[in-house]
Amino acid sequence: MGLFKAGSMVYKPVKEVDLSRESSEFYLHANVKAPRMAGILVKIFAWFLESRIFGTFLLYILKGNNLIHKLIRDAELEEPPVYNPLHPFEDLKEQDVTCIGSDLTPSEQVKLAVDCLPVSSGKTLNGSDLHFRRWTISDYSRAYSCGEITPLVVAERFLAAVGESSKPPLQMSFFINYDAEDILRQATASTHRYKQGLPISVLDGVPIAIKDEIDCKPYPTTGGTKWLHKRRPCTDDAHCVERLRLCGAILVGKTNMHELGAGTSGINPHYGATRNPYDPSRISGGSSSGSAAAVAAGLCPVALGVDGGGSVRIPASLCGVVGLKPTFGRLPHTGVLPLNWTVGMVGILAGSIEDAFIVYAAMNGELQLHPSPTLPKICFPLLNKTTPINIKLAKSVEWFNDCSDDIRTCCNNALDKLYKRHGWKTVEVTIPEIEAMRLAHYLTIGSECSTSLSSHLQKMNFAELGWDARVALAVYGAFSGKEYIKAQQIRNRQMQFHKNIFSQADVIVTPTTGVTAYSILNDALKTGELDYVNGAALVRYSIAGNFLGLPAVTVPVGYDKTGLPIGLQFIGRPWSEATLIHIAFAMQALCISVYKKPEVFYDLLQKNEVHQEICEAKELNGTRPTSGLNV
């Protein structure tokens, strides 16, 4: 990457950096210097940071120790800053896609997406070699259409399940807010539509949960805090939520999240630590913790999250579900808390890639985040093709390997399967300056977060904030203009490196996280915790998706020795969601036979075989809804 001069980094010009496997660029392991803190220690630490004299001194030491001075503030770089990761739309000419018109309604788009799915018989687990799979949108839609169950019954089961999971002994803390009356009202309307034979789309009557950072009537938008909603009332649905409502989805409440999205554990001191359905003594990951855990536990096939630094992909990976973060600017962002402007994106958590695709199709279009000169075309992957597409994967070996042994082995096995089954080759490359990018992103998201909240923070009583959020805000507030701009120069370099990698391969492949779900310790429950070592391992592979605006998807590929889920991530070219969905679909098909049922799981459809047979018989006579998993 360059050389250290008098303790600070002198970066080589981008064009002199060698990105091949044999490159002499070294991989700098994250060298986080901060002990884990919780309980009284976090409080003392926050007090020190907030005190004018000690705080300034302490922050200076912390930034220095954690290489922010060396790699960013004092670094010498010649590239000008790039402030915004919005990529001009380029027609990628992706393989096996169909591009849709720009004048369609959300439900028409959903219909076209469903048409791209392979037709399967909708068989349940009986008679197949699957251990476990979650019910998909198509399963719900089929069960409603043939009268096997109604949305109202599903809503009642949902409410009972959330009630049970919220209370001791489970205390899963999936939701911040849900309103039984509102849910039953939506379910009754949907039931009525099915009775008349007029469902709006396959999403009609399907429960979908929303991260409490996205506006959704009739709920306040707390952002995981006890105060933000009092100062910023929610007056309308966010655009993405409105589009789902237009498709008939039942919006089942607001999911728990890390306070202000300012952390990755999902431990929220006000609304409880979201627990991992695969092991309730462990974290679910964050910040979209409740959305991931609710999907994993079977409470809804899909939930929305927001991903500013891996916040969708990290909890998806830790909870064993799919996480899709589209290209920056792809989905409408109106009605999402503006906690930052250039790194966050609405994302989707789902039990299967098909369901992530259907919801992506529903939300896509209209009102881009920033008007782009050429409006990006919307293309859908033809997953019904039997001949697979041809893909080349890029892997930066040292970075890829910087994770736990179980994760490395499991992710490498998954790549072997892709190679054996589809012949997809992996080219080895070097992606330099990963740690500098992580720090530059941290400076950026932190500066944007403290700026966006500044008018509130001046007036507020800090006692309303959790302790770990107070520490985060103190650190965020200490970044300088110079540091921010240097970070954007790093952004420019990385945009160029990645462009170069994408001229050699279609996607970059990495594990999704460096560690699996770690334990929730009791001292963290009231104060939150600071665990920057685990935090850095969780975000290790997420940053390019946010800082560079690239689309990315995580797919569950297996479990570690203790049975905790492991995700594999594919990062794509700007606007290449269709290809990413294709790849994720192929990966899922090769791993689905090992999927396991979580310890905490609710079966909202509770298929009963007699009903099923009636249903199958009816389907044979009429027009059969297309479906779900092709197994």
Ligand X SMILES: *[C@@H]1O[C@H](CO)[C@@H](O)[C@H](O)[C@H]1NC(C)=O
Can you tell me whether residue 456 is helix, strand or coil? helix
CB of 260 to ligand X, least distance (A): 6
CB of 477 to ligand X, least distance (A): 13
- Smaller CB distance to ligand X: residue 136 or 289? 289
CB of 30 to ligand X, least distance (A): 18
* Rounded CA separation 260/10 (Å): 35
* Rounded CA separation 538/267 (Å): 14
- Smaller CB distance to ligand X: residue 158 or 476? 476
CB of 97 to ligand X, least distance (A): 10
Residues belonging to the chain: 631
* Rounded CA separation 586/557 (Å): 11
- Smaller CB distance to ligand X: residue 384 or 562? 384
CB of 250 to ligand X, least distance (A): 24
Cα separations (Å) of 318 from 69, 213, 223, 538?
Answer: 32, 20, 21, 9
* Rounded CA separation 201/214 (Å): 23
Q: Which residue in the list 145, 291, 311, 576 is annotated as catalytic?
A: 311
- Smaller CB distance to ligand X: residue 159 or 262? 262
- To which residue do tokens 């941290």 refer? 442
- The two beta strands, 302-307 and 207-211, are parallel
- Smaller CB distance to ligand X: residue 114 or 159? 114
Q: Which residue in the list 287, 352, 450, 627 is annotated as catalytic?
A: 287
- To which residue do tokens 């909890």 refer? 315
| Catalytic status, residue 284 | no
- Smaller CB distance to ligand X: residue 61 or 119? 119
Contacts of 506 (CB under 8 A, 6+ apart): 391, 392, 393, 572, 573, 576, 579, 583
CB of 112 to ligand X, least distance (A): 7
Rg (CA), the chain: 23
Can you tell me whether residue 250 is helix, strand or coil? strand
- Smaller CB distance to ligand X: residue 75 or 260? 260
Sign of CA dihedral 183, 185, 190, 192: positive
Report whether 365 contacts 101 (CB < 8 A): no
What six digits make up the tokens of 612?
């099923």
Straight-line distance from the first to the last Cα atom of the chain, in angstroms, rounded to the nearest whole number: 46
Cα separations (Å) of 508 from 12, 92, 152, 205, 572?
Answer: 23, 16, 43, 37, 7
Q: Which residue in the list 63, 70, 211, 395 is annotated as catalytic?
A: 211
Residues in the site for ligand X, rule: CB under 6 A? 98, 115-116, 213, 260-262, 287, 306-308, 311, 336-337, 339-340, 343-344, 382, 384, 445, 449
CB of 386 to ligand X, least distance (A): 7
- Smaller CB distance to ligand X: residue 18 or 115? 115
| Catalytic status, residue 311 | yes
Residue number with the smallest Cβ distance to ligand X: 261
CB of 359 to ligand X, least distance (A): 17
* Rounded CA separation 304/251 (Å): 10
Tell me how crowded residue 480 is: count the other CB atoms within 10 A of its CB.
Answer: 12
**Residue of 352, 350, 356, 422 whose CA lies nearest to 629:** 352
603: left (phi over 0), alpha (psi -120 to 50) or beta: beta
- Smaller CB distance to ligand X: residue 203 or 337? 337
Report whether 183 contacts 159 (CB < 8 A): yes
**Residue of 253, 329, 340, 255 whose CA lies nearest to 290:** 255
224: left (phi over 0), alpha (psi -120 to 50) or beta: left
CB of 264 to ligand X, least distance (A): 9
Catalytic residues: 211, 287, 311
